[in-house]
Amino acid sequence: MNTAPLATDSLSTWLDYWSHVHVTGIDLGLERVIPVAEKLGVTHPAAKVLTVAGTNGKGSTTTTLAAILNAQGFKVGLYQSPHVYRFNERVKLRGIEVEDQLLVDAFVQVDQARRECDLSLSFFEATTLAAFVIFKDQLCDVWVLEVGLGGRLDVVNVVNPDVAVITNIGLDHTDWLGDSIEKIAFEKAGIIRPNIPVVFGGQQQIPQAILAKTQQCNAPLYAVNRDYFYEACADGQSWAFASSGTTLKLPTGSLALDNISTAVAAILLSGLTVSQDVMAQGIQTAKLPGRFEVCQIQNKTVIFDAGHNPHGVEFLLKQLRNYLNYNQNYKNIVCVFSMLADKDINSVTKLLKDTVQLWKIAPLSVPRAAELTVLAEALGGEAVEQFDNVKLAFKSALDQTDNNQLILVCGSFHTLEAVWEYLEECQ
C-alpha cells in the first residue's frame, strides 16, 4: 500500500497503512529513522527526557515516573509499548490516552517527513515518531520514554535523555540482542549519553558493558544496593528509600517495589523538584494492567501477570510470596497458562512448578502461539488439564475453584488479553 491515508481517515486505517509500508515489522537500526526524526524536529526536545530500558519492569517504572511527575503538575508525555486493549494506550498526555485524531494528525506529519526523506519506516518506528511529534506539539514539560527492544538501535534512542534508566538485564529477544547477559547489556547501555545520570535497578551484579559505557561517557552511575537502597516495612503498607543524603518513607502502591524504587531514584537525579507527599500520591495512583494485578472476580481472587521470560517469572514469584505472607488463607494455586512458541517455555514452567498445584493450559490464538502438546510436555507429569482456548481454561478455573484457591493467569500478554476479552463478553 503506497497511497497514504488522509487526515480525515480513521486511526485503524493509518495503523494498517504503517503495518504495510516497511518490509519487516522489526528492523533495528537508526539509519532510516534519524533523518525523518530530524526533519520532524523531535531529536532535541526542550523538555526533560527520562528514557527507560531493560528486560523487565520498564512498563511499571515508566508508569510510576509519569504518575509522580503528573501529580507534581508537570505536563508529562508518556510513551510505552506494547498496548493491551487499544493502540492509544501507548501515548498518554497527563496520564490520559490521546485521542484518535491527535495520533492521525501526527501520522500525517510522519508520513510527509519520511516521503521527503525518501525513506521507509517500520510500524514501530512510525508510531514512536508520532508519539514524539505529539509531545513536541503539545509542549510537554517532561517526556517519559519506554524503549521497545534493546536500546542502542531502538527508535526511542534518537532522542537524547537527561536521565537514562536500566531496570535489569535478562535473557530475552536473544535473536535480536545477543545470547548472553553482556551482549544484551551492551545494547541496553546504548541509551547512555555523556555526563547524564544513569540508574541501574537490576538485582544482579552490574554488567561490565554498563560499567564500561558509563565510564566512557563520564556518566555517574547510581546502582541499587550500592548507591541507593530500599526495604519494605513490616506493616506491608510502606517502604523506606535511602541514598546519600536522602531518606524517604513511602506507600507501597500496586506495582512492584523494585520498579517503584528505580523510578524514585531517577526522579531524585533528574533535577525536577518533587515533594515527598507528591511522590506518595503518584505511587498510589500508578497502575498498569497485567503487572501483578490482583482482582476479585465472582468472589475469586485472580492475579494477572504478563511475565513471559525466566526473569519476569522470578519477579512474579517474589511478589506472590509476599502476597501470600499477608494472605495466608489460600491453600493452593490454579494456573491458567499459555505462552508464545519463541519464548523459553521450559525455564518458565520449571520456575512455576513448585508453586502451582493445578494447571489449566490452552493454545493462544495468535501466529506465534506454542502448541498445546509443547506446553503439556514442558509440564511433564504435573496436574494438567487441557482446553481448546484460554477463555475455556479460565471459565473452568472460575467454575471449579473455591475461596481458598488463588487463580494465577500468566505466560504472555496474549494469555491475559484472552481472559480480559472473556470477561468483557460476560458483562
Q: Mean of the per-residue pLDDT values for the chain?
A: 91
91, 143 in Cβ contact below 8 A?
A: no
Question: Counting every residue, how long is the chain?
Answer: 427
**For residue 46, what pLDDT is reported?**
95
For the chain, give the percent of residues with pLDDT over 90. Answer: 70
**Is 172 a residue whose pLDDT tops 60?**
no
Q: Which residues contact 281 (CB under 8 A, 6 or more apart)?
A: 68, 71
Tens digits of residue pLDDT in 155-169: 999 999 999 999 988
Across 193-197, 292-296, 354-358, which has the greatest mean pLDDT?
193-197
pTM of the model: 0.83
Q: What is the mean pLDDT of residues 274-290?
A: 94
For the chain, give the percent of residues with pLDDT over 70. Answer: 95
Nearest CA among 101, 79, 74, 73 for reference residue 92: 79
C-alpha cell belonging to residue 345: 517455555
Pairing of strands 76-79, 142-146: parallel
Exposed/middle/buried for residue 180 (C-beta within 10 Å: 0-12, 13-18, 19+): middle
pLDDT band at 179 (very low <50, low <70, confident <90, very high): low
pLDDT band at 195 (very low <50, low <70, confident <90, very high): very high
pLDDT band at 177 (very low <50, low <70, confident <90, very high): low
CATH of domain 11-285: 3.40.1190.10
pLDDT band at 153 (very low <50, low <70, confident <90, very high): confident
Greater pLDDT, 268 or 288: 268
**Is 200 a residue whose pLDDT tops 80?**
yes
Task: Return the bridge partners of 194, or none.
Answer: none
**Is 247 a residue whose pLDDT tops 70?**
yes
Cα–Cα separations (whole angstroms), residue 38 to 42, 114, 253: 6, 10, 39
**For residue 1, what pLDDT is reported?**
46
Tell me the C-alpha distance between 231 and 310, whole Å.
24
Q: What are the domain boundaries of the chain? A: 11-285, 293-426
pLDDT band at 23 (very low <50, low <70, confident <90, very high): low
Tell me the C-alpha distance between 335 and 194, whole Å.
46
Tens digits of residue pLDDT in 336-374: 999 998 888 999 999 999 999 999 999 998 878 999 999
Question: Which stretch of 24-28, 102-106, 231-235, 335-339 has the lowest confidence by average pLDDT?
Answer: 24-28
Domain 293-426 has CATH 3.10.180.10: no
**Is 224 a residue whose pLDDT tops 90?**
yes
